[in-house]
Structure 1
Amino acid sequence: MKVTFAFLSLAALTLTSGLFTVLLYDRFTGSGRTESVVATALAASPPAAATRPIPAQAAAPPPEQPKPSAKLDAPVIKQYPELPSGCEVTSLAMLLQYAGISKTKLELADEMKKDETPIRFDGKGGIAYWGNPHTGFVGDVTGKSRGFGIYHEALLPLLQTYIPGAVDLTGKPFELLQKQVEQGFPVIVWNTIDYAMPAKWVEWDSPAGRVKTTFAEHAVLLVGYDEQNVYVNDPILGEKGTAIDKAQFLATWEAMGKQALSYHK
């Protein structure tokens, strides 16, 4: 061990002496050899890993912003008279038909998930126990008895059945929904019937947990936007591209949990 240490010390001293000699020679002669010699020496004896500079990480590019406006020409379908509570599947039918898939609102109403938990009232006439819209459609979609609706995660599998590129955009920034429209993909969004903040919220228990919602819950197909408005195919109105004030629409969309479904090719 002592012999090895002595040998390494002698080698280090020799290298240091050699470098000093080269530097001194260059100082007096101006030969320009110093840079190449020192570089060769350092390459032969690289610094410890801990002293090496860490490469700077490239900054992530900012998200691409949507264009100021865009609008799609999607078919419009009215939920009435057959499906008075079927705004979600009617909006889905519009989206699928836009994508070239011939499915009717009645076919989709039969195929969608359902939570068939019977409704139970409390002593004051309020709902005490019922189904959960996160699990499946709650109530009767045809209006023969009380109906409510279905939320994004329960409707997503039906969309995936016909479009494998289906995406759940719930909770995402609205700019992403606008980007979808700009790229040619309409979006199902949950809102309220009159695009106003709910005046009354209701709550009940369900097999999948507590539900808090409003009977003003509604779903439409987002087909366009500009700086002031969004444009929707509303299954209640049965009109194409109805203009809704954007700020008002965003407030109620957020109140309903920022739910949204769309797709990619």
Structure 2
Amino acid sequence: MKWFKIAKGFSISLLIASLMFTSSVFTAILYAKIKYRPADSHAVSGYDPASGTDQAADKPEQNQTEGEETKVNPAAMLEAPLIQQYPELPRGCEITTLTMLLQFSGVEKGKMELVEELPWDHTPIQWGDQGQITYWGHPNEGFVGDITLGSPGFGVYHKPIATLLSTYQSETVDLTGKAFSEIEASISNGIPVMVWTTVNYKVPVNWMEWDSPQGKVKTTTKEHTVLVVGYDEEHVYVNDPLKKQKQLKINKQQFVSSWEAMGKQAVTYREANRKGS
């Protein structure tokens, strides 16, 4: 009888432990689904790519008809310049990446020349009681803050970059909000694409928000841009202004997720008459 009670007690304890483990696993899975739900991954900067309003994450793809996919080669690779943003422009990944794209197109401009033409948003930064940013400029209006390390600075998004690109390329193409297959199609057709990602090519964990004259901005300090120069079934290849290796290989699924998290921003051009050099 004593052994029966011990065995019965052990069985009950084992059942309780099993239920607790199952509950913890379910909780972890549920947390992951909430934390990385698609709506969060696209609602990044508080703007619609076309109008600057707060609706970008909810709009459907406009680049292709329903059931139709962009046809691209299974793999492609381009030889493009690699330019470093350091030491002159520690926060200048965007203008440096644009320089790579323009030099690929035949425009003989350096990053220090182009930075003088970059649109800026000079809205002063304001801080909250907890040391957080509460009010600043909007990166879809121009570069926010200091592009060096002299004072606080952030970066710039696709709209001002597309505007600057259009002064040199009459067929500027803003692919923001399109499917990643559109980026692959451009590379397949011989033209690299400037895209917004993160410094480690991963979906950010820590986000920050501030208000601006154009509305709320939600972003991350890991914001970064690179020039996509190639792809295959499993990888994306980039020229990164923070790296010294050309055609750096990155896992495609990981890279695409980081690009989506930063609002699916991408800018390039089509072959046409160049405006100047």
TM-score using structure 2 length:
0.73
1:20-59 correspondence to structure 2 within 5 Å: none
SS of equivalent to 2:218: strand
C-alpha distance in 2 between matches for 1:259 and 1:166: 14
Letter in 2 for 1:207: P
C-alpha distance in 1 between matches for 2:78 and 2:102: 14
SS of equivalent to 2:246: strand
Query: Which contiguous aligned blocks of 4+ residues in structure 1 show a shift greater than 6 angstroms?
Result: none
2:81 corresponds to 1:81: no
1:237 to 230, 240, 243: 243
Q: Which has the larger radius of gyration?
A: 1
1:69-218 correspondence to structure 2 within 5 Å: 69-218=75-224
Letter in 2 for 1:190: W
C-alpha distance in 2 between matches for 1:130 and 1:184: 38
Letter in 2 for 1:181: I
SS of equivalent to 2:176: coil
C-alpha distance in 2 between matches for 1:152 and 1:238: 24
SS of equivalent to 2:167: helix
Letter in 1 for 2:258: T
C-alpha distance in 2 between matches for 1:61 and 1:250: 21
C-alpha distance in 1 between matches for 2:203 and 2:163: 29
Please report the RMSD computed on the Cα atoms of aligned residues, expressed in angstroms.
1.5
Question: Which structure 1 residue ranges, 5 or more long, are not aligned?
Answer: 1-58
Inter-CA distance 85–161: structure 2 relative to 1 (3 Å threshold): same
Give a deviation string over 1:175-222, Cα, whole Å, max 9, x none: 111010010110000000001111200000111111100000000000
Q: Is the 8 A contact 2:193 2:227 kept in 1?
A: yes
Deviation at 1:239, TM superposition (A): 2.2
Q: Is the 8 A contact 1:220 1:234 kept in 2?
A: yes
For these two proteins, the number of residue pairs brought into alignment is 207
Q: Is the 8 A contact 2:147 2:155 kept in 1?
A: yes
C-alpha distance in 2 between matches for 1:238 and 1:191: 18
TM-score using structure 1 length:
0.76
Deviation at 1:155, TM superposition (A): 1.2
Q: Is the 8 A contact 2:70 2:181 kept in 1?
A: no
Question: Which structure 2 residue ranges, 5 or more long, are not aligned?
Answer: 1-64, 272-277
1:227 match: 233
SS of equivalent to 1:81: coil
| Percentage of matched positions with identical amino acids | 52
Larger relative contact order (Cα-Cα within 8 Å, sequence gap ≥ 6): 2
Give a deviation string over 1:218-260, Cα, whole Å, max 9, x none: 0000000000100000001132100010000010100000000
